Amino acid sequence: MSNSSSVASIPVATLGTPRIGPHRELKTALESFWSGKIDEAALVKTAAQLRADNWARQKARGVTVIPSNDFSFYDQVLDTSVMVGAIPAIYGWKGGPVSLATYFAMARGSQGDGEACEHGHAHQHHGHGAPAQEMTKWFDTNYHYMVPEFAKDQTFALSSTKPIDEYREAKVLGYQTRPVLLGPVTFLKLGKSELPDRMSLLPKLLPVYIDVLGRLAAEGADWVQIDEPCLVLDLDAAEKAALRAAYSEFALKVPGLRIMLATYFGALDDNAALAARLPVAGIHLDLVRGRAQAEAIIHLLPADSVLSLGVIDGRNVWRSDLPNVLERLEPILKQVGAHRIQLAPSCSLLHVPVDLDRETKLDADLKSWLAFSLQKMTELSTLGKALSGQRDVVKDELAASAAAAASRQSSPKVHNKAVADRVAALTADMANRRSAFAARAQVQRDRFKLPAFPTTTIGSFPQTSEVRKARAAFTKGTINQVEYDRFLREETRRAVAWQEEIGLDVLVHGEFERNDMVQYFGEQLSGFAFTQHAWVQSYGSRCVRPPILFGDVSRPKPMTVEWWTYAQSLTKRPMKGMLTGPVTILNWSFVRDDIPRSESCRQIALAIRDEVTDLEKAGATMIQIDEAALREGLPLRRSEWKAYLDWAVGSFRIAASGVADRTQIHTHMCYSEFNDIIDAIGAMDADVISIETSRSKMELLDAFVTYRYPNEIGPGVYDIHSPRVPDVSEMTELLLLARKRLTEDQLWINPDCGLKTRGWAEVRPALVNMVAAAREMRARA
């Protein structure tokens, strides 16, 4: 390498780290605290230990720009609400420092009644006491944040000194950290308010930020990292003006403190000039998603500003090809000079699992292609050394990295020619049902002769402690396959008999054999791997362990046909085949970075299509393909929505279209707003769609009405996120609201979602009432 050996060493940052701990220590401590098993002092002590360990690990891995205040007891957005005193009146806060009790009341409700369904998607229901703040997805990640709420007459006051306390705590331990704050504009943008323009709150908010920045400077901080990921979104004029105002004000009021403005989750694109001209000392760029943006922005930056280059993927689990990254970095370095460069992951490492070394059961090749948070830190420090004239010192690391990349590129575990050929041979026809919906509907009506307002459920029945115990025993080996199957058959048999008994029209087998709607399929498909400990925080103490999609996907053998056949043998009524759709499987996994997501999705679609046609061959007359996560995959920029929806819907159609007109395809979606994707839902062309609507008083159906959606719809009449049993009249009222919007032929009756998180004690009366509501509707018709 031509670089002289005298170059200064290049700073290496993480931007933020997983806070949950390598053994999910924070989860354990939080849950023990909430259940009264440990006291606040013990919780606080565990948290301090986790932070100390985290700082030590970063230092040991060669990270030189170590963050503080990236820890949180629950969520960094909630921390920010608390820091600035944006605490709704309902929590009874009277000013002054916010107690942990108030903090957790905002996070979980004052009775801790926040409820989650699978994949950590959170829903709260309103019990007694104050409900939790609303929770929603953090950009396009699977992390959820607590939505800030601003009153019309909102005022702000410094109400938590957490950033300063944690800076000081690190300093005492010998670390000069770069504290992280969520930026004021992103904070306001992510909040909700009756105010027409949340940005009008900025002048009232800034003094609190200035106070915090001033205190950090007084404590000795020389840099702070301020996260403004809103800079990768479509921004309106008020938001742009707010960014200019905020950072000018900071430059004026806290001139000595250097700000690293962190942008991530995408490219700045049309916001590049705006961002580059903000009076800050440095800017962080996501060069994984915004691969080519560095070159464009360099020209816009002041000559002395620092560039933080986010070259290691903070959103995914793959090891980098370091020599390749170096090749990208070298011209940038030449252009701006090493003294202006920092290296970093594309975004905080919060979104990747902690430590690959803990995985002892992964295939050795696959393991050699992966990097979790600690391994990514090492990668960054290796890059840093290589760029600081120490390429020799790290030559073995670079060679190993290149070798892993080469092995992945050519491995038969990843590449399967038959799969690639099949995707290449896809024809438009394969994504079309044989006839249009109107014709299919006629054939299906004649075939099924269902009553008006047919009743069904979404698929799963309660995963009781007995079901979980049996699964655990089987996994541990204390019961064998024969015993486990006997248990599952008995559960299924009982569920089917009970559905017949209460008079449901279309039955389900109950999904007792499934651990999780994605994992169950991932485990049976080639191309997926599962980890032992690769947890990532979804929200609060809740963690998920997404499958790793590493190779071309194929289906070695039928996955659900046996269970379906058994279930159908127990009844004459239609038994729905039950599958998870390709888009949902994709969106809830760590995916490949060597081929486009659309390509992986089509591969999964073909595997599901095979399952659909096998079910049809086995005699299934109705098959449901769940696409719960279709909306979640929407890109952050509107301009990219169409391309995504095209391939996502296309994949669903590939999965669904291998069957005859007389076979009825159902789909299901939850946690959705439908307005902005209604065209796509129409284009999916499922014969029947069930959706979550009960809490919206059927208003979600308006989108379907405006669109003149012709196919059949089951709007949920029963909120499955609450243990409350709705009575008959409540459901009839919802159905009458639905009936105003849809024709009699269109309307199905079902709960909002699967019932796996509920107990039988609630499910039994609720479904009995639901069937009674259907009879009531028929009587009125």
Residue 691 as a binder of ligand GLN (CB under 6 A): the answer is no
**Which CB atom, from 511 or from 712, has the smaller least distance to ligand GLN?**
511
Number of residues near ligand GLN (by CB under 6 A): 14
Q: Which of 668, 739, 741, 758 binds ligand GLN (CB under 6 A)?
A: 668
Task: Kindly write down the DSSP assignment for every residue of 22-63, as one continuous string.
Answer: TT-HHHHHHHHHHTTSS-HHHHHHHHHHHHHHHHHHHHHTT-
> Which one of 372-380, 452-460, 563-571, 653-661 is the stretch in contact with ligand GLN (CB under 6 A)?
452-460
Residues at the binding site for L-homocysteine are 458-460, 511, 626
**Which CB atom, from 321 or from 511, has the smaller least distance to ligand GLN?**
511
What six digits make up the tokens of 771? 């069937």
> Which one of 160-168, 261-269, 380-388, 753-761 is the stretch in contact with ligand GLN (CB under 6 A)?
753-761
**Which CB atom, from 234 or from 466, has the smaller least distance to ligand GLN?**
466
Closest CA to 387 of 774, 746, 54, 2: 2
Contact 258, 222 (CB under 8 A): yes
Q: How far is CA 582 from CA 90, 529, 656, 737, in A?
A: 42, 16, 10, 33
Q: Which is it for strands 542-544 and 526-529: parallel, antiparallel or unpaired?
A: unpaired
Tell me the closest approach of the beta carbon of residue 668 to Zn ion, in angstroms.
Answer: 6
Phi-psi map region of 756: left, alpha, beta (phi>0 left; psi -120 to 50 alpha): alpha
Tell me the closest approach of the beta carbon of residue 715 to ligand GLN, in angstroms.
Answer: 14
Q: Which of 26, 670, 689, 738 binds ligand GLN (CB under 6 A)?
A: 670
Sign of dihedral through CA atoms 755, 756, 759, 761? positive
Q: Which is it for strands 223-227 and 536-539: parallel, antiparallel or unpaired?
A: unpaired
**Which CB atom, from 32 or from 757, has the smaller least distance to ligand GLN?**
757
User: Exposure string (b/e) for 342-362, b if CB count within 10 Å is 16 or more?
Assistant: bbbbbbbbbbbbbbbeebeeb
Residue 544 as a binder of ligand GLN (CB under 6 A): the answer is no
Q: Which of 130, 377, 458, 585 binds ligand GLN (CB under 6 A)?
A: 458
Tell me the closest approach of the beta carbon of residue 756 to Zn ion, in angstroms.
Answer: 10
> Which one of 79-87, 521-529, 726-734, 751-759 is the stretch in contact with ligand GLN (CB under 6 A)?
751-759
SS (H, E, C) 741-779: HCCCCCECEECCCCCCCCCHHHHHHHHHHHHHHHHHHHH
Residue 517 as a binder of ligand GLN (CB under 6 A): the answer is yes
Residue 150: enclosing H or E segment and its boundaries? Answer: strand 149-150
Which one of ligand GLN, Zn ion, none interacts with residue 459, CB within 5 to 8 A by kind?
ligand GLN
Residue with the closest Cβ to ligand GLN?
754
- Residues forming a β-bridge with 716: 750
**Which CB atom, from 69 or from 538, has the smaller least distance to ligand GLN?**
538
Distance CA 610, CA 598 (A): 19
Which one of ligand GLN, Zn ion, none interacts with residue 460, CB within 5 to 8 A by kind?
ligand GLN
Query: Among 119, 123, 509, 721, which one carries the catalytic annotation?
Result: 721
Tell me the closest approach of the beta carbon of residue 130 to ligand GLN, in angstroms.
Answer: 27
Which one of Zn ion, ligand GLN, none interacts with residue 543, CB within 5 to 8 A by kind?
none
Contact 700, 681 (CB under 8 A): no
**Which CB atom, from 198 or from 756, has the smaller least distance to ligand GLN?**
756
Phi-psi map region of 129: left, alpha, beta (phi>0 left; psi -120 to 50 alpha): left
Phi-psi map region of 424: left, alpha, beta (phi>0 left; psi -120 to 50 alpha): alpha
> Which one of 32-40, 604-612, 655-663, 746-754 is the stretch in contact with Zn ion (CB under 5 A)?
746-754
What six digits make up the tokens of 228? 């403004």
**Which CB atom, from 231 or from 731, has the smaller least distance to Zn ion?**
731
Residue 664: enclosing H or E segment and its boundaries? Answer: strand 664-669
Count of CA atoms in the C-beta half-sphere (13 A) of 517: 32
Residue 666 as a binder of ligand GLN (CB under 6 A): the answer is no
Residue 753 as a binder of Zn ion (CB under 5 A): the answer is yes
> Which one of 220-228, 358-366, 713-721, 751-759 is the stretch in contact with Zn ion (CB under 5 A)?
751-759
Tell me the closest approach of the beta carbon of residue 631 to ligand GLN, in angstroms.
Answer: 12
Which residues in the 100-129 window bind ligand GLN by CB under 6 A? 118
Residue 459 as a binder of ligand GLN (CB under 6 A): the answer is yes
Tell me the closest approach of the beta carbon of residue 519 to ligand GLN, in angstroms.
Answer: 12
Distance CA 204, CA 90 (A): 21
Residue 247: enclosing H or E segment and its boundaries? Answer: helix 237-253
**Which CB atom, from 77 or from 755, has the smaller least distance to Zn ion?**
755
Q: Please name the residue that has the structure tokens 């044989």.
A: 434
Residues at the binding site for 5-methyltetrahydropteroyltri-L-glutamate are 24-27, 137, 142, 542-543, 588, 632
Residue 492 as a binder of ligand GLN (CB under 6 A): the answer is no
Residue 116 as a binder of Zn ion (CB under 5 A): the answer is no
Catalytic residue status for 721: yes
Which one of ligand GLN, Zn ion, none interacts with residue 301, CB within 5 to 8 A by kind?
none
**Which CB atom, from 20 or from 753, has the smaller least distance to Zn ion?**
753
Distance CA 664, CA 661 (A): 7
Contact 117, 92 (CB under 8 A): no
Distance CA 127, CA 110 (A): 9
> Which one of 137-145, 389-397, 609-617, 627-635 is the stretch in contact with Zn ion (CB under 5 A)?
627-635
Tell me the closest approach of the beta carbon of residue 518 to ligand GLN, in angstroms.
Answer: 10
484 exposure class (CB count in 10 Å sphere: 0-12, 13-18, 19+): middle
Helix (H, G, I), strand (E, B) or coil at 682: helix
Residues at the binding site are 24-27, 137, 142, 458-460, 511, 542-543, 588, 626, 632, 668, 670, 692, 753
Q: What angle do CA 392, 393, 396 make, to 5 degrees?
A: 85
**Which CB atom, from 76 or from 460, has the smaller least distance to ligand GLN?**
460
Residue 311: enclosing H or E segment and its boundaries? Answer: strand 306-312
Q: Which of 460, 492, 519, 667 binds ligand GLN (CB under 6 A)?
A: 460
What six digits make up the tokens of 576? 């729905």
119 CB contacts (<8 Å, ≥6 apart)?
Answer: 142, 516, 518, 538, 544, 588, 629
Q: What angle do CA 254, 255, 258 make, to 5 degrees?
A: 95
What six digits make up the tokens of 556? 């070695």
Residue with the closest Cβ to Zn ion?
670
> Which one of 453-461, 552-560, 640-648, 727-735 is the stretch in contact with ligand GLN (CB under 6 A)?
453-461
Tell me the closest approach of the beta carbon of residue 622 to ligand GLN, in angstroms.
Answer: 13
**Which CB atom, from 24 or from 758, has the smaller least distance to ligand GLN?**
758
Which one of Zn ion, ligand GLN, none interacts with residue 249, CB within 5 to 8 A by kind?
none
Q: Which of 578, 586, 681, 747 binds ligand GLN (CB under 6 A)?
A: 578
> Which one of 142-150, 170-178, 307-315, 455-463 is the stretch in contact with ligand GLN (CB under 6 A)?
455-463
Residues at the binding site for L-methionine are 458-460, 511, 626
Residue 670 as a binder of Zn ion (CB under 5 A): the answer is yes
Distance CA 207, CA 194 (A): 22
Q: Which of 626, 661, 719, 752 binds ligand GLN (CB under 6 A)?
A: 626
CB atoms within 10 A of CB 537: 26
Binding footprint of Zn ion on the chain (CB under 5 A): 628, 670, 753
Binding footprint of ligand GLN on the chain (CB under 6 A): 118, 458-460, 511, 517, 578, 626, 628, 668, 670, 753-754, 756
Among all residues, which ones are annotated catalytic? Answer: 721
